[in-house]
Amino acid sequence: MVGLSELFSDVKARITREGSLPEHMTISLIGMAGIGKTTLAKKLLNDPFILSRFKKRVFVTIGPKYTLERVLSDILRQVKTTREVDDDKMIVLVGEEGKLAALKGLIIKGLEDCRYFVVLDDLWDIKLWYRELAELFIWRGDDSRVLLTTRIGDVASISADWGFNYRMRFMDNKESWDLFRRKVFGDQQESLPYELEKAGKKIAENCAGLPLTIVTVANIMSKVDKTTEYWTEVAGAQRHSVFLNAYCWPKTYTQVHVSYK
Ligand SMILES: Nc1ncnc2c1ncn2[C@@H]1O[C@H](COP(=O)(O)OP(=O)(O)OP(=O)(O)O)[C@@H](O)[C@H]1O
Ligand SMILES: [Mg+2]
C-alpha cells in the first residue's frame, strides 16, 4: 500500500487499544468509490501485530447486492474450527427456515472463546447491521473489534452510536506520484529522465488524489510509448482521452458513478 501512513497508524492504534468500552468496538472507514477503503482494511488485517493480537480474523465483502445467507456463510467459514466439522450437517437438518438462525448461532459459538477482528467490507445497508449482524458481535470486554468500510454516510452512523469514524482522505501529490510511478515502472529505483518525470508527476496530479483513477491512468500509460513528447501532451490536457478513457472503463465508471448518486 502506498501512502496514508498516518491514517494507517491511527486506525491500527484504535483497533489494538486495550481496556476498551463497548463504544470502542466498531470502527468505520468512510469514503467514495476507489478512495482506498478496502486496500486499507486488508493492510490492517494482514498487519503482523494485528495477526498476533486477534486469534480469529474475518474479512467479508458485502456490497449492494448481498444475501444474508451468503454473508453469514462467509463469516462462518472463517470462524469455524476443525472440531465443528459437523456444522454443515446440522444446518441441513434444521431446514431452510432455521438456516439463518443456525448460521448465526454457529458464528456466535465460533467467536466465543477468543479475541476476534472482523472486517465487514463495503456495507451499504444499515438495516443489515442493526437487524442481523450487530447481535453476532457482542461486547465481552475482550477488545475484539469490528471494522466497517462504507461509501454511505448513513451507514457510518453505526459507529457514531457504537464506535469511531474515519473519513478517508485523497492522496496528496507525492503519494499520487508514488503510486503512479510504481504502477507504471514497478519497483525499479533508477531515476527517470527529468522531463518524463515532470510530465508523470503532472499526470498523477491530474487524477485528483483518487487512487482508483491513478491506477487506471497508470495502467493506460504503462501500455503506451514512454516518450517525453507523448507524456507531456497527456500532462498538458486535463481532458485528454487518457483521462476520459480512465473514467469510461466499465468498472471505474460504475464505481465512480454510483458514489455520486
Ligand atoms: N494506498 C493505496 N496504495 C496503493 N493502491 C491503492 C491505495 N488505495 C487504493 N489503491 C488502489 O486503488 C484501487 C481502488 O482502491 P479500493 O478498492 O481499496 O477502493 P475502495 O474505497 O474500497 O472502493 P469501493 O468503494 O469501490 O469498494 C485499487 O486498485 C487499489 O489497489
Ligand atoms: Mg472497497
Report which bound ligand comes closest to the CA of 258.
1
* Beta-ladder partners of 167: 30
pLDDT by 10-residue block (mean), the chain, 261 residues: 94 88 86 95 96 95 93 92 60 71 90 93 89 87 91 70 84 95 84 85 91 91 83 77 63 43 34
Ligand 1 in reach of 145 Cβ (< 6 A): no
Ligand 1 in reach of 4 Cβ (< 6 A): yes
**What pLDDT is recorded for position 92?**
65
Centre of ligand 2 to C-alpha 61, Å, is 8
**What pLDDT is recorded for position 260?**
37
Report which bound ligand comes closest to the CA of 218.
1
**What pLDDT is recorded for position 224?**
81
**What pLDDT is recorded for position 85?**
52
Which amino acid, 78? Q
**What pLDDT is recorded for position 84?**
55
Ligand 1 in reach of 151 Cβ (< 6 A): yes
Q: From the alpha carbon of 35, which atom of ligand 1 is closest?
A: 21
**What pLDDT is recorded for position 91?**
64
What's this model's pTM, rounded to 2 decimal places? 0.87
**What pLDDT is recorded for position 190?**
75
**What pLDDT is recorded for position 71?**
95
Centre of ligand 2 to C-alpha 188, Å, is 28
What residues contact 176, with CB distance under 8 A and at least 6 apart? 204, 205, 207, 209, 214
Report the C-alpha gap between 11 and 14 in whole angstroms: 5
Report the C-alpha gap between 51 and 43 in whole angstroms: 11
